[in-house]
Amino acid sequence: MALAYHNLATGSSRRPAMANGAFQIRLTHDAIPLTNVVPSFPSIDSLEKYVGVWLNQEITTYADNQPPTTIIYLTDFLPIENNLQMDLINDFISDIETALDVETEKISLADTWQASPPQGVADVSVHEYLKDVKTNITKSLDRIHVNPTTRFRWDLAKDISTETHEGTMRGLEVYKEWLLEHILQIQKRNALVIFPITGQEVDYRETPPPIPKFLFSEINNKTVGELKYQSRISGSEEHLPVVVSALGKSGSDMALIDAIKKVLKHSGRPTEIRTGRRMFQ
pLDDT tens per residue across span 32-41: 666 666 556 6
Which segment of 102-116, 137-151, 198-212 scores lowest on mean pLDDT? 137-151
Measured between its terminal Cα atoms, the distance across the chain in Å is 20
| pLDDT of res. 13 | 65
At 92, the pLDDT band (50, 70, 90 cuts) reads very high
Query: Over the chain, what is the mean pLDDT?
Result: 73
The CA angle 189-78-253, to the nearest 5 degrees, is 40
7-111+192-266, CATH topology level: Amidase signature (AS) enzymes (3.90.1300)
State the Cα–Cα distance between residues 222 and 245, nearest whole angstrom: 6
According to DSSP, the residues that pair with 225 across neighbouring strands are 242
Which segment of 70-79, 141-150, 265-274 scores lowest on mean pLDDT? 141-150
| Domains of the chain, residue spans | 7-111+192-266
Q: How many CA atoms lie within 13 A of 114 on its CB side?
A: 7
Of 4, 70, 23, 5, which Cα lies nearest the Cα of 249? 70
What residues have CB less than 8 Å from 207, skipping those under 6 apart?
none
Which segment of 12-16, 84-88, 106-110, 241-245 scores lowest on mean pLDDT? 12-16
State the Cα–Cα distance between residues 210 and 278, nearest whole angstrom: 27
- Each residue of 72-82: pLDDT tens digit? 999 999 998 88
In a 10 Å sphere around its CB, with 0-12 CB exposed, 13-18 middle and 19+ buried, how is residue 163 labelled? exposed
Which contacts of 233-240 are long-range, i.e. CB under 8 A and separated by 24 or more positions?
233/204, 238/277, 239/278, 239/279, 239/280, 240/200, 240/201, 240/202
At 218, the pLDDT band (50, 70, 90 cuts) reads very low
Rounded-to-10 torsion of CA 226, 229, 234, 240:
-20
| pLDDT of res. 61 | 40
Asked if pLDDT for residue 181 goes beyond 90, the answer is yes
| pLDDT of res. 124 | 86
Asked if pLDDT for residue 70 goes beyond 60, the answer is yes
Residue 270 identity (one-letter amino acid): P
* Helix 126-141 and helix 162-178, axial crossing angle in degrees, nearest 10: 130
At 23, the pLDDT band (50, 70, 90 cuts) reads low
